[in-house]
Structure 1
Amino acid sequence: MSDPLTLDSLTPFTHAYDGERLAGVHGGGPGRAAVVLLHGAGAGSEERSRPLLAEFVGRGCRGLAFDFSGHGNSTGSLRDLSLRRRFEQAVAVIDARVPAAEPLVLVGFSMSGQTVADLVRHYRDRVVALGLCAPAVYAPEAWDVPFGEGDGRFSGIIRTPDGWRRSPALAAFGAYAGRAVLAVPGRDAVIPPEVTEAVQESLAAHAQYTRFELPDAEHQLGLWFRDHADSRRDFADALLAGLGDGGPTVVSGVGEDGLHGHTDCGWRSG
């Protein structure tokens, strides 16, 4: 479990946007890269990501995580949320909390794989590293559709066989040339393996890419990182180390202390 003294480095905040109050936590100081953690759908929230966020803050990074509307401590209704609104809320919080000249490290869980791709297209070269944790990607027509109650248009779109293959996220990942780490659980009952392989193929095109394997984990990697300190450390090492090395690597994320060496946020984008 997490060290409560480390979690004390995180401070709550709220941000008003589009009639709603978005709640989150942040830590760290200026002059380093900013790591932004984005939770998944359903019961996802920033709270389960706090130990991972504290890991990055402890390495000198600015750290930021928040609840999308309808989640956690934020206001709003989950049924009214959409992929577009997730993107817009993330931009609003990042622009309010992170200085414009500061490099970004984006980490997205599950549904936020799509949100990370949207942010990569928006912030372009400012994104120096991205971490995708059991990511999902979606057909373009799903982007602006409210999630609803699970039986509406959004659900119909995402259940269309192979609709995800047309996702603009795959093109965004294929064009991305920074550091990229794909965290893959050994047992994922949510994301089909062909989606994971398509994301991997896109990242491997130009990114400095690492596949980070967690053989004993299931889909909810936020919970896994919350409960496994070794995996948190190794994931942070993989994401922050090796910038500029190039070439894909495969990393086992179970108890591999020192695999990359302890890395921090002292680097700058080139």
Structure 2
Amino acid sequence: MSLTGKTALVTGGSRGIGAAIARRLAAEGATVAITYAGNTAAADATVAAIEQAGGTAFAFQADAADPASQRAGVDQAAAALGGIDILVHNAGVATFATIAEDSDAIFDRQFDVNVKGLHVGTRAALPHLTDGGRIILIGSISGEMAFPATTVYSATKAAVAALARGWAKDLAPRNILVNTVQPGPIDTDLNPADGEFAAQMLSAIPLGRYGRVEEIAGAVAFLAGPDASYITGTTLTIDGGVTA
């Protein structure tokens, strides 16, 4: 339990990768708070799973696209936790559209959640974040390679990695380590391993399978723990070899 005595905030922690990260950090001993956009039942289920396993968790509703809501969620979480040692930004959205199909609304929504929400949330967390803390951003291999109809989403995830590199230098004087985890194809409700695009995607994965949410959570736990004390400004790609 390498995170015993630590506190962690996971944005977008009600389901999928975010919920798996929250559960894993709690299993490593951290007290965990999650924020969620609107799925109260899923958020409550994540908290219940952590508590049933002997951990402590809280959930707060916060819309990452709304700066006031995002700041309020971070402040509520920090108050409940008594400070933040580990900040994991997982909240994100994706809308698939070619440039001919795209719109201002589609563009704005993705940048508001995936980039601005990260920026606002991190700034809000800084007064509560302990020196020597960790910030871990969940990006995507889409930030490095193009897929059909994902250009704007890819641009947001490229921005996520850029933010991490810059913040790593900005926050180095406080020994706050900032890194990005870039998942590839991961089996979730939104991208199931048996979905309509799975066969096409599987042919591009050298390991021949989708990843599991627990595999992303394990990488986050590593970056949050003591063995990652000299890692900052880096990007850890977990994609079964897709970008190799």
- Give the alignment of 1:175-186 within 5 angstroms: 184-186=140-142
Q: Verify the 8 A CA contact 2:10 2:33 in the aligned structure 1.
A: yes
CA distance in 1, matches of 2:227, 2:190: 23
The answer to whether the 8 A contact 2:8-2:88 is kept is yes
- Per-residue deviation at 1:236? 1.6
Match of 1:232? 217
Aligned equivalent of 2:27 = 58
Unaligned runs of 5+ in 2: 42-60, 93-112, 194-209
Show the counterpart of 2:9: 36
Consecutive unaligned residues in structure 1, runs of 5 or more = 1-27, 40-44, 135-183, 257-270
Per the alignment, residue 238 of structure 2 pairs with 253
Shift of 1:67: 2.5
Count of residue pairs the alignment pairs up: 165
Q: CA 1:36/1:84 → structure 2, altered by over 3 Å: closer, same or farther?
A: same
3-state SS, counterpart of residue 130 of structure 1: strand
Amino acid aligned to 2:22 = L
Following superposition, the deviation at residue 55 of structure 1 comes to: 0.8
Aligned pair in 2 of structure 1 residues 246, 235: CA closer, same or farther (>3 Å)? closer
Residue 121 of structure 1 is aligned with which of 126, 130, 151? 126
Contact 2:85 2:130 in 1 (8 A): no
**Aligned: 1:86 with 2:70:** yes
Q: Counterparts of 1:26-175 in structure 2 under 5 Å?
A: 32-39=5-12, 46-48=14-16, 49-68=18-37, 71-73=38-40, 82-95=66-79, 97-100=80-83, 103-109=84-90, 110=92, 111=113, 112-125=117-130, 128-134=133-139
Aligned identity (percent) is 6
Q: Deviations over 1:26-51 (max 9, x none)?
A: xx9x9611111111xxxxx6233322
The Cα shift of 1:127 comes to 7.0
Q: Are 1:53 and 1:65, in contact at CA under 8 Å, matched by a contact in 2?
A: yes
Please list every run of at least 4 consecutive aligned residues from structure 1 whose deviation after the TM superposition is greater than 6 angstroms: 220-226
CA separation in 2, counterparts of 1:203 and 1:221?
30
How far did 1:94 drift? 2.8
Aligned to 2:110: none
* Partner Cα distance (1:78, 1:208) in 2: 25
Q: Which amino acid aligns with 1:33?
A: K
Query: Secondary structure at 1:60's aligned position in 2?
Result: coil
The TM-score, its normalising length taken from structure 2, stands at 0.52
The answer to whether the Cα contact below 8 Å between 2:8 and 2:30 also exists between their aligned partners in 1 is yes
Q: Give the Cα–Cα distance (whole angstroms) in 1 for the partners of residues 234 and 218 of structure 2.
A: 17
Larger relative helix fraction? 2
- Relative to 1, partners in 2 of residues 1:89 and 1:222: Cα closer, same or farther, differing over 3 Å? farther
Q: Secondary structure at the match of 1:212?
A: strand
> How many angstroms does 1:116 deviate by?
3.0
